[in-house]
C-alpha cells in the first residue's frame, strides 16, 4: 500500500472509502463530521442516530453517501480518552482493516491532535500495519482478490515536516510487517540459515553491517550452551551480528545492544512439548525478528545512536544427538550448567550470545527480546510483556517509550531469594528453577551472563504471537516491541 498526503478538503477527497474519527459525545461539534454531514444532506447524522453511534472507542459506522468525493464514509469512535497518538494509530489500523476490499482509501486525522507531524507518522504506520495479511502460502481462490492500493492522509498543510513524517511512518510500518512475515513463516522454510540470510539481505538493502557465523564459527567461539540446544537438530545454527553506526556520531554517544532469541522451532527437545503447545512454536524466533526489525528501523530512520543486534538462531529438536536432562555443558564465559529440562532452551542460547555481545561491544545498555517463558503469560496474560531490568533508569525510559506507543510491559522483580533455586549439586548452576516464579528464575539465569552491563530482558512470549486479533495487533505474528524500541532509541538520540 502506498500512502500519500492530501490537502484537499474532506468533502472533496477522491477515494473509495473515506475514514474519519470522532470523539465520544462530539458528533455535533466535530467540524469534519459536520462538513461531511452537510455535504451529504444529513446522511451521516441520520445514520449515527439510527445506529446509536456516539463516538465511543470501538464504535464504527459505515455509510454509503452521495455528495462527497468518496461514495462510502467510515466514522470511527475515538473515545473520550486523552488525545494520544495511539488513538490515531488505532483509527488508521481500523480504517485499513475495514477498507481491505477497496482500492483507494483516505483518512482524515482527528482535529485535536497536538502534533500533526507525529500524527501523520503514526497514521501512516497504522494504515500500513492495518492492511497486513500473511498471504505467502495462499494460492488460487485463497489469494485476496482486491487489496488496498493507495491511502491518502488529509492534512492541513503538506509541509516538509509532514512529508518526512510520512516517510518515517512508511519505514516503520513496512518494518513491522516484515517482522510479522518472519514470525509467521513456517519453520520448514524459515530455518536458522534462512533467518540469518534474511538478516543479511535486510542489512545489505539498508546499509547495515552484518556478520554471520556458521556452526564451525560458533564452535570456535566456544558457545557450548548454544550448541547444546542445536545438537538434536538437522539444521545448522547461526549467530548473527548486525550493526548500525550512524555517520558522524558524536563522541561519547551511547551504544545499545539488542539480543534476540531465534528458535526457528521449539519442539521442547527430549522434554517434548504436547502437540497443543508445540503447534505455534515457529513463533519462538520472534525476539530475533524484533531485533532485525529494530536494526532495520534504525537504518531507515537514520537514528543518531550506535545500535547492534545479535541473534542466536537454531531449532530445538529431538534428533539422535539431542542434549539430555542431566547433561552438563560449559558456557562461553566458563560457568558449568546442569541441564534440567531441554524445553528451557532459550535461556541457554541467550546466555552465550549475551556473554559475547557484552564482551565485544561493552554497550551502555544491553537489551534482549525473547519468547522465553509460558510462566510470563501465566503472570501477565497474553498481551503484556514482562520487563526485567537491573537498572531503574533504563526500565523507566523504556516504560515511558512503551506508554507513548501503546505497547504494554510490566516490570517484574529480579528476586534475589529465588536465586537459590538455580543451585546445582554437580555444576555451577542449573538452568531451571521450580514451576512457581518461572519467568523470574529464567531472567535470573540470564543475569549470570551479562557481565557488568546495564541490562533489560523483555519476555515477549505472550504478545509476540496471538491466537486472535487484539487491539491494533493481528492474529499470528504481531511485531510487538519494534515501536517501543524505536521510540526509546529516538529519545536517547535526542538526549545525547
Binding-site residue ranges for Mn(2+): 261, 266, 284, 343, 345
- 266 touching Mn ion, by CB under 5 A: yes
* Closer residue to Zn ion in complex, CB, 107/263: 263
Which window, 18-26, 183-191, 243-251, 261-269, contacts Zn ion (CB under 5 A)?
261-269
Catalytic residue among 347, 384, 397, 430: 347
Q: 21, 130, 438, 474: which one contacts ligand BES (CB under 6 A)?
A: 438
User: By CB under 6 A, how many residues form the interface with ligand BES?
Assistant: 15
Name the DSSP class of 468.
Answer: S
CB 297 within 8 A of CB 279: no
Angle at 266 between CA 260 and CA 272, to 5 degrees: 145
Is 347 known to be catalytic?
A: yes
Q: Within positions 314 to 373, which residues make up the interface with Zn ion, using CB under 5 A?
A: 346
Tell me the three cell numbers of residue 264.
Answer: 526457528
Comparing C-alpha atoms, which of 227, 329, 313, 224 is closest to residue 266? 313
Q: Please state, in angstroms and as integers, the Cα–Cα distance from residue 110 to each residue in 62, 69, 476, following that order.
A: 17, 19, 30
Distance CA 194, CA 216 (A): 17
Binding mask 315-344 for ligand BES (x = CB under 6 A): --------------------------x-xx
Tell me the C-alpha distance between 122 and 116, whole Å. Answer: 10
Please report, in range form, the residues annotated as the binding site: 261, 266, 284, 343, 345
The beta strands (E) that lie in 333-416 are given as: 336-338, 365-370, 385-389, 409-411
Find the helix packing angle between 85-98 and 116-130, rounded to 10°: 30
Tell me the closest approach of the beta carbon of residue 277 to Mn ion, in angstroms: 9
Instruction: Determine whether 211 is an active site residue.
Output: no
In which order are the strands placed within the sheet that holds 2-6? 2-6, 150-154, 104-108, 17-23, 72-79, 60-64
Whichever of 119 and 379 has its CB closer to ligand BES, that residue is 379
User: Which among ligand BES, Mn ion, Zn ion, none contacts residue 375 (Cβ within 5 to 8 A by kind)?
Assistant: ligand BES
Please choose which of Mn ion, ligand BES, Zn ion, none residue 100 contacts, taking the beta carbon within 5 to 8 angstroms, the exact cut-off set by kind. Answer: none
Q: Which is nearer to ligand BES, 248 or 274 (CB)?
A: 274
| 375: three-class secondary structure by DSSP | helix
Site for Mn ion in 339-398 (CB under 5 A): 343, 345
| Pairing mode of beta strands 17-23, 104-108 | parallel
Determine the 3-state secondary structure of 215 from DSSP. helix
Q: Which of residues 282-311 bind ligand BES (CB under 6 A)?
A: 284
Residue 344-373 contact track with ligand BES, rule CB under 6 A, x = bound = xxx------------------------xxx
Strand order in the sheet with 238-244: 209-213, 238-244, 306-316, 255-266, 365-370, 455-459, 385-389, 409-411
Q: How does DSSP assign 228-247, residue by residue?
A: HHHTT-SSPPEEEEEEE--T
CB closer to Mn ion, 39 vs 350: 350
Q: DSSP alpha helices (H): ranges in 302-391?
A: 346-361, 374-380
* Interaction between residue 438 and Zn ion (CB under 5 A): no
Instruction: Please count the residues of this chain forming the interface with Zn ion, following the rule CB under 5 A.
Output: 4
Strand arrangement of the beta sheet that strand 336-338 belongs to: 328-330, 336-338, 429-430
Nearer to Zn ion, 110 or 287 (CB): 287
* Footprint of ligand BES on 248-287 (CB under 6 A): 266, 284
Shortest distance, position 281 Cβ to ligand BES, whole Å: 6
Residue nearest to ligand BES (CB): 374
Cα–Cα distances (Å) from 431 to 139, 374, 441, in that order, read: 44, 16, 9
Contact region with Zn ion (CB under 5 A), list: 278-286, 419-427, 450-458, 472-480: 278-286
As measured in angstroms, the least distance from the Cβ of 180 to Zn ion is 19
**CB closer to ligand BES, 251 vs 276:** 276
> Quick one: which H or E segment has residue 472?
none
Closest distance of CB 268 from Zn ion, Å: 8
Residues 125-154 interacting with ligand BES (rule: CB under 6 A): none
3-state secondary structure of 344: coil
| Shortest Å distance, C-beta 343 to ligand BES | 4
Marked catalytic residue, from 83, 211, 273, 447: 273
Of 237, 241, 233, 279, the residue nearest 260 (C-alpha): 241
Q: With 0-12 CB in 10 A as exposed, 13-18 as middle and 19+ as buried, what is 392? A: exposed
Kindly state the smallest distance separating residue 438's Cβ from ligand BES, in Å: 5
Residue 461's binding partner out of Mn ion, ligand BES, Zn ion, none, with CB under 5 to 8 Å set by partner kind? ligand BES
Query: Residue 341 binds which one of Mn ion, Zn ion, ligand BES, none, with CB within 5 to 8 A depending on kind?
Result: ligand BES
341 vs 390, beta carbon nearer ligand BES: 341
Does residue 374 bind ligand BES (CB under 6 A)?
yes
- With CB atoms as reference, the residue minimizing the distance to Zn ion is 266
Residues near ligand BES, by CB under 6 A: 266, 284, 341, 343-346, 371-375, 432, 438, 461
Q: Which residues of this protein are in contact with Zn ion, per CB under 5 A?
A: 263, 266, 284, 346
Catalytic residues: 273, 347
Amino acid at each position: 500500500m502506498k500512502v500519500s498526503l492530501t490537502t484537499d478538503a474532506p468533502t472533496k477527497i477522491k477515494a473509495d472509502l473515506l475514514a474519519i474519527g470522532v470523539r465520544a459525545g462530539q458528533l455535533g461539534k466535530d467540524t469534519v463530521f459536520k462538513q461531511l454531514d452537510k455535504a451529504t444532506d444529513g446522511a451521516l447524522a441520520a445514520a449515527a442516530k439510527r445506529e446509536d453511534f456516539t463516538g465511543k472507542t470501538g464504535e464504527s459506522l459505515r455509510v454509503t453517501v452521495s455528495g462527497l468525493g468518496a461514495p462510502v464514509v467510515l466514522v470511527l469512535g475515538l473515545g473520550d480518552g486523552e488525545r494520544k497518538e495511539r488513538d490515531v494509530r488505532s483509527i488508521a489500523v481500523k480504517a485499513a482493516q475495514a477498507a481491505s476490499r477497496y482500492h483507494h482509501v483516505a483518512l482524515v486525522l482527528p482535529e485535536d491532535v497536538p502534533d500533526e507531524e507525529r500524527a501523520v507518522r503514526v497514521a501512516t504506520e497504522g494504515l500500513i500495519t492495518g492492511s497486513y495479511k500473511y498471504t505467502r502460502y495462499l494460492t488460487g481462490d485463497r489469494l485476496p482478490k482486491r487489496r488496498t492500493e493507495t491511502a491518502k492522509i488529509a492534512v492541513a498543510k503538506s509541509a516538509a515536516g509532514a512529508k518526512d513524517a510520512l516517510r518515517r511512518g512508511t519505514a516503520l510500518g513496512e518494518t513491522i510487517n516484515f517482522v510479522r512475515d518472519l514470525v509467521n513463516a513456517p519453520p520448514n522454510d524459515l530455518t536458522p540459515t534462512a533467518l540469518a540470510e534474511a538478516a543479511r539481505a535486510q542489512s545489505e538493502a539498508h546499509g547495515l553491517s552484518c556478520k554471520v557465523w556458521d556452526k564451525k564459527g560458533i564452535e570456535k567461539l566456544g558457545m557450548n550452551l548454544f550448541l547444546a540446544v542445536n545438537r538434536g537438530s538437522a539444521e545448522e545454527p547461526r549467530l548473527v551480528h548486525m550493526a548500525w553506526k550512524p555517520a558522524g556520531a558524536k563522541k561519547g554517544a551511547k551504544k545499545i545492544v539488542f539480543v534476540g532469541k531465534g528458535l526457528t522451532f521449539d519442539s521442547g527437545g527430549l522434554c517434548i512439548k504436547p502437540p497443543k503447545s508445540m503447534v505455534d512454536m515457529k513463533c519462538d524466533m520472534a525476539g530475533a525478528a524484533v531485533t532485525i526489525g529494530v536494526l532495520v528501523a534504525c537504518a531507515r530512520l537514520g537514528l543518531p545512536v550506535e545500535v547492534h543486534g545479535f541473534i542466536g538462531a537454531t531449532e530445538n529438536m529431538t534428533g539422535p544427538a539431542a542434549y539430555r536432562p542431566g547433561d552438563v555443558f560449559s558456557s562461553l564465559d566458563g560457568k558449568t550448567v546442569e541441564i534440567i529440562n531441554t524445553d528451557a532452551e532459550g535461556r541457554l542460547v541467550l546466555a552465550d550470545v549475551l556473554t559475547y555481545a557484552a564482551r565485544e561491544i561493552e554497550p551502555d545498555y544491553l537489551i534482549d527480546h525473547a519468547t522465553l517463558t509460558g510462566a510470563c503469560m501465566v503472570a501477565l496474560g497474553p498481551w503484556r510483556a514482562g520487563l526485567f531490568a537491573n537498572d531503574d533508569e533504563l526500565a523507566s525510559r523504556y516504560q515511558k517509550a512503551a506508554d507513548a506507543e501503546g505497547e504494554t510491559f510490566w516490570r517484574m522483580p529480579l528476586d534475589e531469594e529465588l536465586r537459590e533455586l538455580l543451585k546445582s549439586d554437580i555444576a555451577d548452576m542449573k538452568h531451571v528453577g521450580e514451576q512457581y516464579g518461572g519467568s523470574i528464575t529464567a531472567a535470573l539465569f540470564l543475569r549470570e551472563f551479562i557481565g557488568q552491563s546495564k541490562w533489560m530482558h523483555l519476555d515477549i512470549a505472550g504478545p509476540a504471537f496471538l491466537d486472535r486479533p487484539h487491539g491494533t495487533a493481528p492474529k499470528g505474528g504481531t511485531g510487538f516491541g519494534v515501536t517501543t524500541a524505536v521510540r526509546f532509541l529516538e529519545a536517547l538520540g535526542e538526549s545525547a
